[in-house]
Amino acid sequence: MKVHVEPLGDHAVVVRFGTSIDPHIHGQVKQFSASLEQDPLPGMVEYIPAYATVTIFYDPVAVYERNKGWQRTDGGSRPPFSPYEWYCGQIRERLNSLGEAAPASGRVVKIPVLYGGEVGPDLGEVARHNNLTEQEVIETHASGDYQVYMIGFAPGFPYIGGMPEKIATPRRQSPRLSIPAGSVGIAGKQTGIYPLETPGGWQIIGRTPLRLFRPEADPPSLLQAGDRVRFVPVTEEEFRAYEEGSA
Amino acid sequence: MTMRVIRPGLLTTVQDTGRYGYQKHGVIVSGAMDPFAHRAANLLVGNRDSDATLEMTLIGAALEFTEDALIAICGADLSPTIDGVPVPLWKPVWVKKGTVLESGGCRFGARSYLAVAGGIQVPVVMNSRSTYLRAGIGGHEGRPLRAGDVLKSGPLPEQSALMIRHLRTHAEEGAFVPAEWGIGPELLPMYESQPVIRAIRGSQWDWFAADSQEAFFSQPFRVTPQSDRMGYRLEGPVLSLVRQTELISEAVSFGTVQVPAEGKPIVLLADRQTTGGYPKIAQIASVDLPLIAQTKPGDVIRFVEISRAEAEALLLDRECSIRQAKLGIQFKLA
């Protein structure tokens, strides 16, 4: 698919690399994001990478000022100029300067997880739904090759793709009013981790002692789009040791 | 300058122009719901646009000024008084030490902004002073104000000092002195309790059935009680898709109108999530965001379609007017 560029209102541009969840499409998202990170476009406020899109937020006033200044006098008219059109040109130029997207590499982040019991109340349900034992669910979840596609929904919340189909489980019929921070869940073919205590409908199979959202740190999110993730089962003692170590 | 909170009002938070630069980490923008009123209030007291103000919702706070202060109140008219005397909106006001600002009934709008010369001083978290309620960060201890809180303002900008000198020469026995000038009505957004809101077609406009497209830009929608700083849920004609297509999550913005499966539109506002997976039928023009921010549950709104180019031109024209108003104020003080 050709890269599609379209407006999100009068202050942002969506750069669309495709319409599906696909490692190749996401490779282009990562490559373009890395280029924006290294060399931000003029007037850029920030960008949001997602599965198949990068949305760039820009300051139309700053873009206008940079190109035209504010020479309007009383009763005079403002010189016509479209910050959006100009921005699309900048984006096209940048896209053309990029080569073939490199195959996904990214750093690997190990996530210790205490599975089942009180901290993973839905592990049994996931096992039943897939005709597996709880131990098999744990082994499958911890053996997957995962990729963080995007951070969204809540600060530091990773949308993780690549979970083996054989432990996929639909969301709970009715969402829980409160899911503790660190909970590891499954929703369909997705797996994710709740960074903050929030309501939610995912099947909760365990908990990590790691803090995913760290407002005092830069960056404030433990995981970044493009990271690879490995879940590592830990015992209750190991879980406690992690918690104390990070406190 | 310091002030003490006597009563916090319904929901009073510290806000600025928003927390930009961290959305890729899932950190929401927050910031003033009515960016125009926030900016006007700052401009009137000589602050920078990005300085923090107090956003008061429907029922205003009661605040005691424990030192002299230069303030401006913009946005919703919550019938503000100082020591019982009505205070004008959209003007700089010099306030004497020991007086109390209170609110009466809500005459118009939903959100009122109180700027204090020097800006509300709270720690900057990730480039912003805005309160992010759910994560408990930013603003005053990451939460709405409570009785007993004490707020301080930052160092007085040069222009604020000039204004104070100007107003003090007119000081008589009253508790406060308003300036004779302010932001004129010709500069204001078209505030109304039943506003017509200009919007452009959203990214998934083509996914909607023709009668839903037509209904969106012609029928009235009511703001429901399930409306807050995150978003407004609207009640009106049910909007349906030509066929159910799954959208994979992508970025949303201030003023995005998205439509979940049951067909009732949600307008995403200051505390919106960073990404969303519902089809987007429209995007409100930036210049009209203040109009929806000042509506409250029960109010009726209408959307009217404009082009992307028109929305952009309106935004740039608004910027021109604000910059001229700024120059006008500097001229008056010279």
| All structural domains of chain A with their residue ranges | 4-97, 108-246
Record: contact B25-A224, CB cut-off 8 A = yes
Q: In 10 A of CB B74, how many CB atoms?
A: 27
**Does residue A154 register a pLDDT over 90?**
no
pLDDT over 90, % of chain B = 84
For helices B35-44 and B308-333, give the axis angle rounded to 10 degrees.
20
Indicate the domain borders of chain B.
Answer: 2-188, 196-315
Spatial distance between the Cα atoms of B5 and B56, rounded to a whole number of angstroms: 12
> Which band of pLDDT confidence, cut at 50, 70 and 90, is reported for residue A177?
confident
> pLDDT category, A100, cuts 50, 70, 90?
confident
Query: What's the average model confidence in pLDDT over A228-236?
Result: 95
Q: Measure A217 CA to nearest chain B CA, in Å.
A: 9
Percent of chain A with pLDDT over 70: 94
Alpha-carbon distance of B285 to B173, in angstroms, equals: 46
Question: What is d(CA B58, CA B295) in angstroms, rounded to the nearest whole number?
Answer: 10
Candidate from A168-182, B61-75, B301-315 with smallest mean pLDDT: A168-182
| Domain B196-315: assigned CATH number | 2.40.100.10
- Does the domain made of A108-246 have the CATH classification 2.40.100.10? yes
Instruction: Look at the pTM and tell me if it is higher than 0.90.
Output: yes
Q: How many CA atoms lie within 13 A of A131 on its CB side?
A: 0
Question: What is the DSSP code string of B133-180?
Answer: TTTTBSTTTTS---TT-EEEE-PPPHHHHHHHHHHHTT--SSSEEE-S
Residues of A in contact with B126 (CB under 8 A): 215, 220
Residue A247 has pLDDT above 50, yes or no: no
Q: Indicate yes or no: CB of B286 within 8 angstroms of CB of A8.
A: no
> To the nearest whole number, what is the mean pLDDT of chain B?
94
> Average per-residue pLDDT in chain A?
90
**Residue B69 pLDDT exceeds 90:** yes
Task: Specify the CATH architecture of the domain A4-97.
Answer: 2-Layer Sandwich (3.30)
Of A9, A19, A47, the CB nearest to B24: A47
Q: Are B194 and B298 in contact (CB under 8 A)?
A: no
Burial B137-166 (b: 16+ CB within 10 A, else e): bbbbebebbeeebebebbebbebbebbbeb
pLDDT of residue B248: 85
Write the residue in A14, A48, A83 that is nearest to B24 by C-beta: A48
DSSP code at position A104: P
- Residues B155-175 have a mean pLDDT of 84
Judged against a pLDDT cut of 50, whether residue B230 lies above it is answered with: yes
pLDDT confidence band for B168 (50 / 70 / 90):
confident
φ/ψ of residue A15, rounded to 5: -105, 115
Provide the 3-class DSSP secondary structure of residue B334: coil
